[in-house]
Structure 1
Amino acid sequence: MRTTVGADPWLRRFHPSPDAGVRLVCLPHAGGSASFYFPFSRAFPAAVEVLAVQYPGRQERHQEPAVADINLLADRITDALAAEADRPLALFGHSMGAMLAFEIASRLEELGIAVPQLFVSGRRAPSRHRAMESVHTFTDEGLVAELLALDGTDAELLADPEVLQMILPAIRSDYRAVETYRYRPRPKLLCPVVALTGDSDPRVDLDEARAWADHTSGSFDLRVFPGGHFYLSAQQTAVVELVQQRLLPLTWSEIRDG
């Protein structure tokens, strides 16, 4: 896997594209890492440069403490992205990553950095809260059972005690960040929003996905794909096509002229 790490620990360029017209910032799910988006990055043409976010506490950042707060994570990632705003920054987040993408989009717009497109996948709208979510308080066995039920983590890894010892602290921290997050009312986003979800996702129903429309004054679209919470893996080709349709027409002049 070819990776350009660079000076910033938060961002990975698996397929650097200096002449790209737009950057797509991809934010992983709870327990996920930047490498989840390697196939995603490889599938895009050179006109779209994918920046995959690497959270602390995993892979080459495994010795750093994980951050169990969505707003703090969003602050730090926004700081890292400010240096990448020499061209348009679109955002794609899955599950926990969708919450982060929303918070980052809000921060970028507050800084005067236009976000041409926000893609939120596998997550209900920020204003839709479900009571009694407490996976982060489960025993290790209960946490593993939750991961297996969502089918987003390799079962062989979860069966290896040494691997579990390495990955569970970051996973638990991510779940704590997700489950303690509370939406803070603020002005609607200006950017267009596309919500993507699996038709059998136990964590998001269609009404909760449609509610993303309440968080933008721009256009909104809902796309439903076959599959569960990790529909994204099986539906990668269709998702990439959708994202390309939205991003390839973008130019700086279109964004500047609004």
Structure 2
Amino acid sequence: MTSGSTTDASPWFVRPPSTGHPARIFCFPFAGSGASAYSDWPAVLGDIEVCPVQFPGRENRLAEPHYGTYENLVTGLAEVLAPLLDRPFAFFGHCAGALPAYETALRLAELGLPGPDRLFVSGQPAPHDASCDRMLTMTESELRAEIEWFLRGRRIEPRPDMVDLGLTVLLRDQAAARAYRRPEPVAVPCPVVVVHWRDDPDVSLAELEGWRWYADSVGIRVVEGGRYDVMNAPDELRTLLTRWR
């Protein structure tokens, strides 16, 4: 066990959560990505430790089987999170990552475990509208072009082998997203904060209104930038993510 850590190194986290901060925010990656989506974020926001979650079947967990379904993903993650819920915490999920973040909050409640103080969902329609995601209707060639566009936007030359690997992960994530069903809203026992990226061409502000059915307290906040600007942890987002403290 490393100094100040609460647990032995786990494949679910790129770094062991520490005991040195009074609160944590667990960050769920978007489809096709992994914990590295948050590599440019600071390790701490105010007094809140940033804990990116690493899903199976990507990056340093590429050799592991893909989680297959959100149910499998949440079951495994809830077990790992249980000893880390000893202080206030929040969940942040971006795009499709908002769905397992939401489902994990529900699972913790079902297990009688402490739940998040806030659920932040970013750029993702509510679970009962999840099938409207534009990317779920894209062909493989369209998804490949999307990956190439994304990499160039990160100033990375999209080598064919890199694109092939990204496409493999994305297709498996997309299959899990297509299999996901939540026909009726089920509320979580914590406030929900919905983040809309003003320049997001795929998800409108109106399409996020469905989240209002998912908690007694739901706030929608508009921040500047496009959907992938989340990776840069802009100041406006950082401020929003620390207000629950």
TM range (shorter): 0.7 to 0.9
Equivalences for residues 101-180 of structure 1 within 5 A: 101-112=101-112, 113-131=114-132, 135=136, 138-139=139-140, 141-148=141-148, 154=154, 156-157=156-157, 159-180=158-179
Indicate the SS of the match to 2:244: helix
Structure 1 residues 88 and 184: CA distance shift in structure 2, 3 A: farther
Please, which runs of 5 or more residues in structure 2 have no aligned partner? none
Distance 1:226 1:180 in 2: 32
**Aligned partner of 2:243 among 245, 254, 257:** 245
What is the identity, as a one-letter code, of the residue corresponding to 2:43? R
CA distance in 2, matches of 1:213, 1:154: 33
One-letter code aligned to 2:174:
Y
1:184 Cα deviation from its structure 2 partner: 4.7
What's 1:59 paired with? 59
Q: Distance in 2 between matches of 1:27 and 1:132?
A: 18
- C-alpha change, 1:197 and 1:150, in structure 2 (3 Å) is farther
* Conservation of the 8 A alpha-carbon contact between 1:188 and 1:215: yes
Query: Deviations 1:148-170 (Å, cap 9, x if unpaired)?
Result: 5567964635x212222333211
- Separation in 1, partners of 2:133, 2:51: 34
- Aligned amino acid, residue 192 of structure 2: V
Give the CA RMSD over aligned residues: 2.6
1:221 paired residue number: 219
- Counterpart CA distance in 1 for 2:229 and 2:214 is 24
Count of residue pairs brought into register by the alignment: 239
Alpha-carbon shift at residue 136 of structure 1 (Å): 7.5
Q: Secondary structure at the match of 1:40?
A: coil
Q: Which residue of 2 aligns with 1:255?
A: none
Question: For the structure 1 residues 233 and 132, does the alpha-carbon distance in structure 2 shift closer, same or farther, using more than 3 Å as the test?
Answer: closer
Query: Secondary structure of the residue that 1:205 maps to in structure 2?
Result: coil
Q: Report the Cα distance in structure 1 between the residues aligned to 2:96 and 2:180, rounded to whole angstroms.
A: 10
Deviation at 1:41, TM superposition (A): 3.5
Q: TM-score, normalised by structure 2?
A: 0.85
- Report deviation, 1:246: 1.4
Distance 1:88 1:38, change over 3 A: same
- Does structure 1 conserve the Cα–Cα contact (< 8 Å) formed by 2:41 and 2:231? no
CA distance in 2, matches of 1:235, 1:246: 17
Q: For residue 100 of structure 2, what is the aligned residue in structure 1? A: 100
Rate the CA distance shift 1:63–1:235 in 2: closer, same or farther, 3 A: closer
Provide the residue aligned with 1:87 in structure 2. 87
**TM-score normalised by structure 1 residue count:** 0.81
1:12 corresponds to 2:8: no
Where in structure 1 are there 5+ consecutive unaligned residues?
Answer: 248-258
Q: SS at the partner of 2:49?
A: strand
Secondary structure of 1:230's match? helix
Deviation at 1:216, TM superposition (A): 0.7
* Distance apart, 1:62 and its partner CA: 1.3
Aligned sequence identity (%) = 32
**Deviation (angstroms), 1:123:** 0.3
Determine helix, strand or coil for the equivalent of 1:41. Answer: coil
Distance in 2 between residues matched to 1:82 and 1:9, nearest whole Å = 15
Higher mean alpha-carbon deviation, 128-137 vs 112-121, is at 128-137
**How big is the shift at 1:132?**
8.4
Partner of 1:18, secondary structure, is: coil
Distance change in 2, residues 1:146/1:84 (3 Å): same
Distance between the aligned counterparts of 2:239 and 2:224, measured in 1? 16
What aligned pairs does 1:204-219 form with structure 2 within 5 A after superposition? 204-217=203-216, 219=217
> What residue is the counterpart of 1:256 in the other structure?
none
Rounded Cα–Cα distance in structure 1 between residues aligned with 2:222 and 2:152: 18
1:24 partner letter: I
Q: Is residue 203 of structure 1 aligned with residue 202 of structure 2?
A: yes
How far apart, CA to CA, are the structure 2 residues paired with 1:65 and 1:231? 29
Q: Distance in 2 between matches of 1:152 and 1:232?
A: 16
